[in-house]
Structure 1
Amino acid sequence: MSPSSPARQLMAFALCLLTALPALAAEQNALEPTDEGRQASRETVQSLQYGHYEPVSIDDAWSNEVFERLLTMLDSQHAYLTRQDVARFSDLRSSLDEMLADGDLDRPYEFYNFYQQRFESRLEWLISYLESKPGFDFTGNDRLPTNLDDADWAETSAELDELWRKRLKNAALTLSLTSGESDPQPQLDSGILSEIASIPATPDVTEKPAQGDSLSDDEISEQLIERYRNQLNRVRQSNPEDVLSLILNAATSAVDPHTEYLSPSRGESFDIQMRLSLEGIGALLQQDGEYVRVSSLVSGGPAERSGQLRPADRIVAVGNGESGEMTSVIGMRLDEVVERIRGPKGSKVRLEIIPANAVDVTQTRTIEITRDTVSLEDQAASSEVIELQRDGETQRIGVIRVPAFYVDFDAWQAGEEDYRSSTRDVHQLIDKLKQQDVEGIVLDMRGNGGGALQEANSMVGLFIDRGPTVQVRDARGRINLYGDTDRGVAWDGPMAVLVDRLSASASEIFAGAIQDYGRGLILGNQTFGKGTVQTLSDLSHGEIKLTRAKFYRISGESTQLRGVEPDISYPSLIDDEQIGESALVNALPWDTVRSVNYRQYGHPQRFLDQLRTQHNQRAEQNPNFIYLTREAELAQQLQAQSNSVSLNLEQRKREMQAREAEQLALENQRRSALGLPEIKSWTQAREEEMEAGPGADEDSPIQQAALNESAAILLDYARLQSPSQPDAGDGN
């Protein structure tokens, strides 16, 4: 068979199948809105209009944004609808505001039903073609675009057919790659699975063949047929509640990313999570197009302790137990993915993931995590002492790890004197470090996603002698000032706060206050930038999580969007375009309010130029920092090059091998500089990582290098500054 024959077969088949589309559409059982859904729509719009922090105008501009969000949720990769299809429902661009406000959901449901017809017809088209036993040719120069978010809509069905010809070829090539290597890397079919973010996708029950066995074209077709049939079965299980959630979340996300409609079932899951009684892996997930992405890990949770799952990893399949069937979750609704991962304490779950730093999106790995609950003990602060050699003497810097701002609310509300809290634990650790004669203290708040606001306030009070800590502005423009009211400090010596992109909310309030007071140095990376407050309100059907307030530093600057900028920055492997408030659609803007009066405890900015010079000199000689810098540069380079994949088998292998070779060379340069044995492949690196066991990521050489350097910078700072006496005055 010539290289072009499969393409001609597919095109010819498309012409035959397209004539059947009207019949397929007529047979489709259309989903219709319910009376409960209509009322929920009216109440949701009223909540946005009268309860949201920002003024929300329910007008044509908002209507158009809702329609665009709906299109993205349904067809983010522009793979099912043509420009003509979108134009057919263009009236919604200016009418959704009135429709949603009045609870008139007939037309939005009609749009959804039309989309589902296109979706089902495409799957039937693929299945029928594969049943014709086509051959697959993996030569030629075809490439498949991997990100069509900003692409134009196809003008004709023929254009979509050509896109799907490439996607189908990529699916077959991926299976061929997986089965044909003697030491195969697990592969992900990145281009052929469902793009839909709000409809259940299908279980991928395909079993990987034994190593070294190569699948025939017929075997590849059989596996893909089973995959698409399962997708078809799942999408046909959609119900009116699914469509309501889709439409109302298009409406809420058009306002801001943290405001959302929760169906009755979603609301129950949210309540369980807020009570911290959820038994699972301790990972916060977010929808990312067709994927579910890890946004952060719960401090002290099973996933963090395992060291196997990291922020920005994408989950592509879930299996229960050590040998349970792996089910694809690509295209599956977020709440369904959460349900599959959740399970009884002590049970195991396996996740197939695309690592955040994967050299190719077709490379996946499978990890196993034991489910557990998260307790205060798991999140408890801890301390250590880092010893540094300076001028022939040993100097000691204390480190306090603060994973979260926690408090035993039940004991606190009951009036118990010895209730457990992060502030109390940190105070005790400070006393312990004092006895060990440390010259300074680094508070490590990397990965601290926040927690109790009162704890952020009281913990600032351990380092200042009374004063404001944060301003909270509500929807009416009223500002409440929070702060520390206790006299005295627990530590008045040199201090630094180490943060990263995953430091959010309360940890940003703490770091911002320390920076504004001039009380210490902020080191690491720009923080997450979540400076908003949400409340949960009941609707007659479901609930709404609504943004009601905003945080501001005592200097008047918001922590929203920009977060806290460190005084000295470190390279990071976390892509700011994937993780952080600025990576979210329709995030509220950064702004300012009036500053408040506060005392200045020091002026670290006077020494920053010298501190940065000394830091850079050390970093240029530190193998771990050199690796981190080059790895971050390589990740950006690979990201820029990952807009398409080759559909030529040999070319795809060469591209994958070249990318892996670059990363392998970087790792071996680091190991060589440290006198460690080199590794031969990434398979060996993963095996070593797995053997390291729980907590390996937290204690990794890269993580420890940042902590050691922070201690060194703080020691420099302690040597440079004179004995500090608080300067009276304000922060202006």
Structure 2
Amino acid sequence: MSIAERIRQHSPRPATLKKAGLCTALGLALLVPGLSGLQAKLDESAIYEPVAPTIDQARANILIARQLQFTHFRNLGISDELSGDVFDAYLDYLDNQRVYLTQQDIDALSNVRNRLGSALKTGQLQPGFDIYNLVQQRVIQRLQFALSLIDEGIDNLDFEGNDQIRVDRSEAPWEADSAALDQLWVKRIKNAVLAQRLNGTEDDVIEENLRRRYEGQLKRAYQARSEDAFQAYMNAFTGMWDPHTSYFSPRTSENFNINMSLSLEGIGAVLQSDNEYTKVVRLVPGGPASKQGQLQPADRIVSVAQEGEKPVNVIGWRLDEVVDLIRGPRNSTVTLEVIPANASDESVTRSIDIIRDEVKLEEQSASKEVIELERKGQDYRIGVITIPTFYADFQAMQAGDPNYKSTTRDVRRLISELKEDGVDGVVMDLRNNGGGALHEANDLVGLFIDKGPTVQIRNANNDVQVLNDEDPTVVYDGPLVVLVNRMSASASEIFAGAIQDYGRGLVVGSQTFGKGTVQAVRPLNHGQLKITQSKFYRVSGGSTQHKGVIPDIEIPSRIDKTRIGEDALDHALPWDQIEAVPHNRYFDFSGIIDELRERHEDRFATNPEFSLLQKEIEFLTQQRQMDYVSLNHAERKDQHSQIENTRLTIANARRELRGEEPFDTLEDLEQWQDEQAADLDTTDDELDFVIREGGHIMADLLELDQRTASILSPTQFAAKAETR
């Protein structure tokens, strides 16, 4: 039986479809099956027009295939095995939660699975477009079913049984057929209704919200473009090499900054497509979202509302369209409805108001403060330098401005000021620093060492380039602690890794992101290809890729490492190592590291702030590990109350530590959070205990080995250093 016949067999009642006379390469029938049970109220004027590849796209496909095979860092050929992986990745992109296609559809496509590779080599795009068209029509069917269900009235839904729904269906089996999908979608609607009811929303408002959501998605499905299919297909293909290699359509290429940061009259966030959602990757330091404080990495955007207007549901929208909606005039307000990264399921959302503005360079600048500690009758003054990003004003630099701003120049000045303040040690805070200018990481290392290599860069031909600090001047020779977390990436990892390899200081915090690759953007006849061409290696030979930097002393973090980080990405390049390059080892911490860790653990065992952090991490972990949620109203309400009570208890315990009045209800807490976020002049010192702990570790260093101060003086470097 042919594929076309099999799909027709599973598509007994096709919906309205324009007769395009399309004869596909693989004979896939472009049909939408009818609805079992409830019948969708079809808009007879709405016609899905199957998208088809263009000659320009076919040529771009051939160029992409050649670039991937011959210039990418990973040596990977296009084989039958790769073809199957592309097929799976493409379906994962188009139907990640497995709510549109059935097992019957997958079976009908089975003989396509191992034929995509050879087709992609030669620019034969029709197989990928056939799959895309089929999925779009299944999407239309499902959304029509959802709207029909809502039209029947949500008061007819049963919330008293034992139904439950799986939270994450990305690895669930495909539903057998359309009837099974109907049952699943009834549960999805019930879950969405129940979540809003528990938040106090009236049924008529819930119906309006859901109808607007699904009508918006349906409109997008009917407006599918050829470029949508091509970009999705190419990114499933390029993603086989690594997650940072991707295709940019001509529209995206023209607005490349969209993929880097929404800094110009936007919110200052790096966004990317994540299946049907637009996901926050990271926040731009100094940007409106970062200063507002509520938007977090891994949050997924559900809707966008302009000031005084109704929200627009953006599930299923293209990234560039979501970006256009978020952008707007400076000082205007945009409201994002997001699914928080720590939400128990996709029905839990919150709204965040952000005032648009430009990201100013001075607001990304390094800053300093001095903390004072009293230990056994002895006072310590610890300088803290916070570096949000590795920046440089390239325009001012090229113009010859002697006072141009850069990370290294600013830190040099701050260190000088801290010396005048008489600090006993310096803590460099690189938490949430996503990287930036590579040469700044190189130069910054140079402020703390005599001279020598800082990072190695290896390309696909195994040629290794070594970046060096050539300046023998040492700006700071005292004890040093570097704070990192999971959001410390790229240039931050290069700096932290070099400091660790040189024995120049201790790295404290949590395992870093693991972004150790270098990309280049190459023009095509149609759009651009961002391709991984090199890999970073530490001076000790180990890569920062995948593994990141492992701290000498670990502090747990709220961030979910299974969802954020290089090792959480599909097809990420592995960790490996090359030969070390000769470098000095200024101090060997092995003799005191166990005692340092023991002291740290003893402090944290009695630290009420750390105890609260542990409770919060345990709470968030439990939320993330929930496989199913109940669709029984009473059970769900009880679960909802438990979650709210836990959040309130943790927040009030933290307020009690600060000598502040507790909140009576969760609504009071959320209102206060909104007020704090709206007032950009206020700061939350919730995590200051981590900085203070860095100061205590510094004091431990000084107490355990009084030699540290002299060993780290520049006059002692040659005598005390070990060459490796």
Determine if the TM-score, normalized by the shorter chain, exceeds 0.5: yes
1 CA distance for matches of 2:417 and 2:481?
18
Do residues 99 (structure 1) and 87 (structure 2) align?
no
Partner of 2:478: 493
The secondary structure found in structure 1 opposite 2:241 is: coil
1:296 pairs with 282, 295, 302, which one? Answer: 282
Cα shift at 1:113 = 1.2
2 CA distance for matches of 1:633 and 1:611?
25
RMSD of aligned residue pairs (Cα, Å)? 2.2
Do residues 283 (structure 1) and 269 (structure 2) align?
yes
- Which stretch shows the higher mean deviation, 582-591 or 115-124? 115-124
Cα shift at 1:380 = 0.8
Do residues 720 (structure 1) and 675 (structure 2) align?
no
1:21 pairs with 14, 18, 22, which one? Answer: 14
Residue deviations 1:557-577 (CA, integer Å, cap 9, x gap): 000011101111111100001
The secondary structure found in structure 1 opposite 2:475 is: coil
1:684–1:132 distance in 2 versus 1, CA, 3 Å? closer
Partner of 1:148: 169
Cα shift at 1:364 = 2.3
Partner of 1:186: none
- Which stretch shows the higher mean deviation, 153-162 or 72-81? 153-162
Residue deviations 1:569-627 (CA, integer Å, cap 9, x gap): 11110000111111111111000000010111111232111111211222122221111
Residue deviations 1:411-467 (CA, integer Å, cap 9, x gap): 223344332211011001000000010000001111111111111111101000001
Partner of 2:185: 164
Cα shift at 1:272 = 6.3
Q: How does 1:226-375 map to 2 (within 5 A)?
A: 226-271=212-257, 278-321=264-307, 323-358=308-343, 361-375=346-360
1:337–1:223 distance in 2 versus 1, CA, 3 Å? closer
1:215 pairs with 203, 222, 231, which one? Answer: 203
| Aligned residues of 2:195 and 2:348 also touching (Cα < 8 A) | no
Residue deviations 1:498-549 (CA, integer Å, cap 9, x gap): 1111111001000000000000010111111000000001000000000000
- Counterpart residue type for residue 84 of structure 1: Q
1:133–1:682 distance in 2 versus 1, CA, 3 Å? closer
- Which stretch shows the higher mean deviation, 162-171 or 548-557? 162-171
- Which stretch shows the higher mean deviation, 156-165 or 660-669? 660-669
The secondary structure found in structure 2 opposite 1:702 is: coil
2 CA distance for matches of 1:250 and 1:523?
37
The secondary structure found in structure 2 opposite 1:284 is: strand
1:469–1:533 distance in 2 versus 1, CA, 3 Å? same
1:276–1:470 distance in 2 versus 1, CA, 3 Å? farther
1:275–1:167 distance in 2 versus 1, CA, 3 Å? closer
TM-score normalised over the length of structure 2:
0.90
Residue deviations 1:675-713 (CA, integer Å, cap 9, x gap): 432222332222222333478799433321111111111
1:563 pairs with 526, 543, 548, which one? Answer: 548
1 CA distance for matches of 2:678 and 2:97?
38
| Aligned residues of 2:260 and 2:270 also touching (Cα < 8 A) | no
Partner of 1:386: 371
Cα shift at 1:157 = 2.2
- Counterpart residue type for residue 308 of structure 1: Q
1:697–1:345 distance in 2 versus 1, CA, 3 Å? closer
1:312–1:272 distance in 2 versus 1, CA, 3 Å? closer
1:697–1:329 distance in 2 versus 1, CA, 3 Å? farther
- Counterpart residue type for residue 413 of structure 1: Q
2 CA distance for matches of 1:648 and 1:159?
20
Cα shift at 1:673 = 4.4
Partner of 2:651: 667
Residue deviations 1:459-504 (CA, integer Å, cap 9, x gap): 1010000010000001110000001000120010101111111111
2 CA distance for matches of 1:287 and 1:272?
12
1:688–1:592 distance in 2 versus 1, CA, 3 Å? same
2 CA distance for matches of 1:160 and 1:130?
16
1:411–1:347 distance in 2 versus 1, CA, 3 Å? same
- Counterpart residue type for residue 274 of structure 2: D
Residue deviations 1:186-241 (CA, integer Å, cap 9, x gap): xxxxxxxxxxxxxxxxxxxxxxx6xxxx426xx75565444433322221011111
Partner of 1:700: 684
2 CA distance for matches of 1:81 and 1:277?
38
1:699–1:157 distance in 2 versus 1, CA, 3 Å? same
The secondary structure found in structure 1 opposite 2:625 is: helix
Partner of 2:44: none
1:698–1:705 distance in 2 versus 1, CA, 3 Å? farther
Partner of 1:645: 629
2 CA distance for matches of 1:168 and 1:634?
27
Q: How does 1:190-201 map to 2 (within 5 A)?
A: none
2 CA distance for matches of 1:330 and 1:729?
57
1:273–1:87 distance in 2 versus 1, CA, 3 Å? closer
| Aligned residues of 2:167 and 2:344 also touching (Cα < 8 A) | no
- Which stretch shows the higher mean deviation, 456-465 or 56-65? 56-65
| Aligned residues of 2:261 and 2:284 also touching (Cα < 8 A) | no
Residue deviations 1:148-171 (CA, integer Å, cap 9, x gap): 111112222222122112112223
- Which stretch shows the higher mean deviation, 502-511 or 44-53? 44-53
2 CA distance for matches of 1:70 and 1:709?
46
- Which stretch shows the higher mean deviation, 59-68 or 424-433? 59-68
2 CA distance for matches of 1:270 and 1:169?
40
Partner of 1:69: 89
- Which stretch shows the higher mean deviation, 335-344 or 229-238? 335-344
TM-score normalised over the length of structure 1:
0.89
1:696–1:274 distance in 2 versus 1, CA, 3 Å? closer
Cα shift at 1:655 = 0.6
Cα shift at 1:637 = 1.6
Partner of 1:532: 517
Q: How many residues align?
A: 679
Do residues 506 (structure 1) and 491 (structure 2) align?
yes
1:272–1:87 distance in 2 versus 1, CA, 3 Å? closer
- Which stretch shows the higher mean deviation, 680-689 or 646-655? 680-689
- Counterpart residue type for residue 166 of structure 2: P
Partner of 2:144: 124
- Which stretch shows the higher mean deviation, 551-560 or 664-673? 664-673
Do residues 447 (structure 1) and 432 (structure 2) align?
yes
2 CA distance for matches of 1:314 and 1:444?
27
2 CA distance for matches of 1:359 and 1:153?
22
The secondary structure found in structure 2 opposite 1:451 is: coil
Residue deviations 1:632-677 (CA, integer Å, cap 9, x gap): 1221122112x22211112111111112222322333333344432
Do residues 657 (structure 1) and 650 (structure 2) align?
no
The secondary structure found in structure 1 opposite 2:203 is: coil
1:365–1:132 distance in 2 versus 1, CA, 3 Å? closer
| Aligned residues of 1:307 and 1:698 also touching (Cα < 8 A) | no
The secondary structure found in structure 1 opposite 2:592 is: helix
| Aligned residues of 2:191 and 2:631 also touching (Cα < 8 A) | yes
| Aligned residues of 1:697 and 1:703 also touching (Cα < 8 A) | no
2 CA distance for matches of 1:149 and 1:363?
18
2 CA distance for matches of 1:682 and 1:133?
31
